[in-house]
Structure 1
């Protein structure tokens, strides 16, 4: 692998344990040495009529042994923002902030193409806004409530 850096694209699919949502996130990827950076925008292809999910994320992957082998292990960290608009009987808007880290592996399919998976866990917070005056739908700000999250991802990368 050259040390000049490579540009590529990735199709990431994942399941978020907090939102119980399947997401697809096309991403732009930059690989230099043992480090890989990703910037992506995501959506839920199975959105219900009363709910919309949109996301943006930044990921960093570190390959301790490089990515030139058939099987490559890596460490991953991710910062994700997810907008969840619920238009049910009591409409509410949630904006989540996730910070996750984990590990994964990928398989080299052919020169420049990789198929991989990872598992991440971390923390999240959210803000909520609603026009409903009921106490259970009161608006909350970021860091008023926090929690832990588990996230699974499958990806297909291609470098030019």
Structure 2
């Protein structure tokens, strides 16, 4: 069992190394980018990556408090679903209503991987292989699709 401080340190080390590894890649529009803290430019909309001892997740998450606003954004994503799926090369899970780790209502389009632990350094290559191509694909998608979401800026 790891102490709270050890858990924090291992996660920090993984995400720092992942960020350094990803820094070798520019965004789809050729710019330098902070891959670990990807900025979409839309309030309450982010690309999220998580990993723990059993499950890893990569997602597009939007967290507007108003369900009707989340529904509108879901409808907008559905307009782009064919493009998103083609770029990702796989079907992701679409969930309008779920709770995040703080119990807050959010909407997500996501993919998970089970069986790899952020607490085992021997699993880190598999975690990186899970996150990297999907994050690059999300960036490629967002470089084109972001203009269709400008109505949600504010």
Normalised to the residue count of structure 1, the TM-score between the two structures is 0.30
Q: Which structure has the highest helix share of the two?
A: 2
Which of the two has higher C-alpha Rg?
Answer: 1
Name which structure has the greater RCO, CA cutoff 8 Å, separation 6+. Answer: 2
